[in-house]
Amino acid sequence: MKHLTKYIFLLLSLSFITTSSFAKKTQRKKAKTTIVKKTITKKKIKKGSIVVVKKIKSNKIFPKILLNESANDLVPIKSDSVPEKVITILSAFKPQLKNVAKIGFVNATAINDTNTVLLNYQVPSQNLSFQYRPIALVPRSIKIDSLKKLNNTTSLKVGYGNYLHQYINLNVNTADKRNNTHSITVYNESSTGTDNHLQIIRDLGANYIGDQYLNKSNSLQTQVFYQHSQRYRYGLVPDASTLPESNYEHNFSHMGASFGWLNFNTKSRLINLNPIAKIEQFEGMPDATNTWLEVKNPMYLNLNNTKLNLDLLYTFNQYNPTGTIHQKNTILKFDPSITLEKWGNKILFGASPVWINKDNYQFFPNIQFQRKLTDSNYLVKTGWSTSFINNHYAALAIQNPWIIPVNEMKITTIDKKYVSLEVSADKRLDYSFGISLIDYKNLPFFNRILGTDVNTFGLKYQTIFESSASTIEMDAKLRYQFSDKLLFVNRLSYKQFNTIKDNTKPWGILPLELNSNLNWLPSEKWILDASLIYWSGAAQFNEPNKAYNLKNTLVLNAGFTYKLTHSWSIWAKGDNLLDKPYERWADYPSLGLQIIAGVVYSFRK
C-alpha cells in the first residue's frame, strides 16, 4: 500500500509537468502570429487621483524576453498582449507664468510650488536601446567670401559724363613676402559748367597706404598723400567776361604724411600706447603757406578693473599769410584720468591741463560717465570735456573753398557738456540720440567780402573768428545692417546759437543737416549705393549789407556697379538727381543733374 501511494504521486507529477510545457508552447505560437495588439486600461479613482492611459504597438516579441523566466522580471500578461515596461518620472518643478509687474520698483515675488506630479510613460522594448551608426564624411571645397580683401590686385576705373566730366582712377594693392600690405592710388577728375566758362574744377592726386608688421603684436601704419585742386572764382562773374582767367585763379596744393604704431596685444600688456604723428603742408592763394605737425599718444595702464590714462597731444602750426609775415601756434595738452568699471558703471574722472603758445596756461575738468540700464539694451552716457582745434588754412578751405588767407590764425576752444542715449534694438538695428551744451571761443564763421570789384577778381569769402558763442546742439544716429548685403546709415544734427558776442548771426554755419547713405549688394554681380543730403540755409549778407538765409537744399545721389566678367565691370553714377542747382555758399551755384558712366578693369596675380 505504501509503494502504491508513491507510484500514484509520481504519475500525477509527470502529468502536471507535461501539461504545463504543452501550454507554454501553445502560448508562444499564438504570440508569434499576432500582428497588432492594443491594450487600453483605465482606472477610475476618486477626485484628486491619477488617470493612467496605456497604449502599446508591437510587431514582434524579442526572444530574450520570452526566455527570461525570472519572477522579478516577468509581468503577468494575457495571451494576446506583449510585455510592458513602465518608467515613472517625478517632476521636481512645475512650469508656470509669473507676473513680472513691478510695484514701487520692487520685483514681484515668485509663488513656490511644492506639489509633485507623477507622469507615467509606456516605452516599447525595442526603443530601450539603439545602435549608433556613424555617417561617412564627405569632403567639400571651401567657399571664399567674395568681400574678402584680395592682395596683389590692380584695377583701372575710367568714366565720362555730361559737363565734360572725366574721371580716371588707378589702384594697386600688393603684399610682400612678410605679409606687409601696400595700396597706391592715382586719380584725376575734371568738369566744366555750361552756364559759366569759369565754372571749372580739376583735381589731381595720389595716395599711399601701407601696413608693415614689425612682429606678431605690433605694426606700423603709414599714409602719404598729395592733392592739387584747380578752380576759378566764378561767383557773380558774367560769362561774357573777356578778362584773363588768371584774375580768378583759386588753386590749392596739399601734401602730407602720417605714421601710427598699432599694438594688437593690449590685454596682456601693463602699459598700452598707440602714438600717431602727422605732418602736412598747404599752399593757397596768393602764395600763402601753412605747415603743421601733430603728435598724439593715447596711453593707459591696466590695473585689473581700473585704467590709468595718460593721454598726450601736441600740435605745432606755422602759418605764413604772406612772404614776410609768420605766425606760430602751439598746443600742449595732457589728459590724466582714472577709468573705473564698477557695479555696471564706467566712470572716467580726470583733468586737462593745457599750455597754449607756452605762456597761456589753462585747466579744465574731464568727467565722463556711462551706464547700461538693467535688463535693457539702453546705454546712457554723460560728461564734461574740453577740446582744442589748432586751426590751419587747409581745414578752413575744406569748409569753404572760396576763402582768402586770414590775417591772424586763432585756436578754437570747445567746452562741451553732454548727455546721450544709445540703443541696440537687435543685432541689426541700433540708434542713438544726444543733446549738448557747448561754449565756443574763436569759432570760425564765413561771409562775403563786400566792396570789391567782383567782375575783375571774382567773389571772395573771408574767415571771421567769433570770440565767444554758446549753442544747444542735438545729434541723432540710426544704423541698420543686414549681414554683409545691406547697410543703411543716417545722421541728423541740429545747432542753435543762444549767444553770439561779436557778430549778429552765425555766418555760414548750417543750422540743420541730414545725411543718409545706403549700400546694397543684391547679388554677387550688383553693387548699389545711394545718398540723401538735406540742410537748412546758412545766414549770409548781400551787397547792401543786409542779412538773409539761403534756401533749404535737398540733394539725391545714386550709383551702381555691375560685374560682367571676372575682370570687367561697368558702373554709373548720378549726382543731384532732382536737377535743381543749389548754393552752399551765396552766389556760387552748383551744377545741375550730373551723369557719369564707365568701365572698370581689374586683375590679380
Grouping H, G, I as helix, E, B as strand and the rest as coil, residue 23 is helix
As a whole number, the mean pLDDT across the chain is 82
How many degrees, rounded to 5, is the angle at CA 489 between CA 485 and CA 492?
Answer: 170
Measured over all CA atoms, what is the biggest interatomic distance in the chain, rounded to whole angstroms? Answer: 160
Instruction: Please check the confidence at residue 575 and state whether its pLDDT lies above 60.
Output: yes
Mean pLDDT of 283-305: 89
pLDDT exceeds 50 at position 295: yes
Q: List, for residues 266-279, the tens digit of each pLDDT value.
A: 666 778 888 999 99
Q: Is the pLDDT of residue 362 over 80?
A: yes
User: How many other β-carbons are positioned within 10 Å of the β-carbon of residue 196?
Assistant: 17
Q: What is the DSSP secondary-structure string of 78-96?
A: -TT-----EEEEEES----
Residue 395 has pLDDT above 80, yes or no: yes
Return the pLDDT at 176: 84
Read off the pLDDT of each residue in 83-105 and give the average, rounded to a whole number.
Answer: 55
Q: What is the pLDDT of residue 572?
A: 97
More confident residue, 48 or 379: 379
Higher pLDDT, 509 or 341: 509
Q: What percent of the chain has pLDDT over 90?
A: 60
Question: Which of the four pLDDT bands, split at 50, 70 and 90, describes residue 388?
Answer: very high
pLDDT band with cut points at 50, 70 and 90 for residue 303: confident
Phi then psi for 425, rounded to 5 degrees? -65, -40
Which one has a higher pLDDT value, 146 or 259? Answer: 259
Confidence bin at 453 (pLDDT 50/70/90): confident
CB 365 within 8 A of CB 415: no
Buried b (16+ CB within 10 A) or exposed e, 34-49: eeeeeeeeeeeeeeee
Q: Which amino acid is at 356?
A: I
CA distances (Å), origin 208, targets 152, 170, 184, 377: 15, 12, 5, 41
The per-residue pLDDT for 40 is 38
How much of the chain exceeds pLDDT 70, in percent?
A: 74
Amino acid at 550: L
Least confident of 125-129, 290-294, 373-377, 412-416: 125-129
Res. 121: pLDDT tops 80: no
Q: Which residues contact residue 265 at a Cβ distance below 8 angstroms, ignoring those fewer than 6 apart?
A: 216, 217
Residue partners of 178: CB distance under 8 A and separation at least 6: 213
Q: Residue 177's pLDDT is what?
A: 81
What's the pLDDT score for residue 452? Answer: 79
Residue with cell 524576453: 65
Residue type, 332: L
Whether the predicted pLDDT of 47 surpasses 50:
no
pLDDT of the residue at 216: 80
Work out the average pLDDT over 246-252.
93
pLDDT category, 305, cuts 50, 70, 90?
confident
Q: Say which range, 104-118, 226-240, 363-377, 481-495, has the weakest mean pLDDT.
A: 104-118
Q: Which of 25-34, 257-266, 498-507, 575-584 has the lowest mean pLDDT?
A: 25-34
> Residue 428: which of 478, 379, 378 has the closest Cα?
478
What is the arithmetic mean of pLDDT over 439-443? 97
Cα separation, 120 vs 249, whole angstroms: 94
**Among 281, 282, 288, residue whose Cα is nearest residue 325:** 288
438 pLDDT more than 80:
yes
pLDDT band, very low/low/confident/very high, at 543 (cuts 50, 70, 90): confident
Position 103 confidence tier, pLDDT thresholds 50, 70, 90 = very low
Per-residue confidence band for 97, with pLDDT thresholds at 50, 70 and 90: low
| pLDDT category of residue 27 using cuts at 50, 70 and 90 | low
pLDDT of residue 557: 97
Strands (DSSP E) contained in 483-576 are 486-500, 512-520, 526-535, 539-541, 547-549, 553-563, 568-575
For residues 173 and 132, the model is more confident at 173
pTM of the full structure: 0.73
Q: Is 247 or 103 the better-scoring residue by pLDDT?
A: 247
**pLDDT (tens digit per residue) in 72-88:** 444 444 444 455 556 66
Model pLDDT, residue 36: 38
Tell me the average pLDDT across 596-605.
90
Per-residue pLDDT at 150: 52
More confident residue, 122 or 541: 541
The reported pLDDT for the residue numbered 37 is 42
Question: Mean pLDDT across the stretch 474-501?
Answer: 95
> pLDDT by residue (tens digit) across 154-171?
999 999 999 999 999 999
Q: Which residues contact 192 (CB under 8 A, 6 or more apart)?
A: 163, 164, 199, 200
Specify the pLDDT at position 484.
83
Cα–Cα dist 385/367, whole Å: 6
What whole-number distance in Å separates Cα of residue 91 and Cα of residue 116?
6
Which pLDDT value is given to residue 271? 82
Q: What is the mean pLDDT of residues 423-441?
A: 94
For residue 533, give the nearest of 571, 578, 498 by alpha carbon.
578
Task: Provide the grid cell at 333.
Answer: 595738452
Phi, psi of 65 (to 5 degrees): -75, -40
Which SS3 state, helix, strand or coil, does residue 519 take? strand
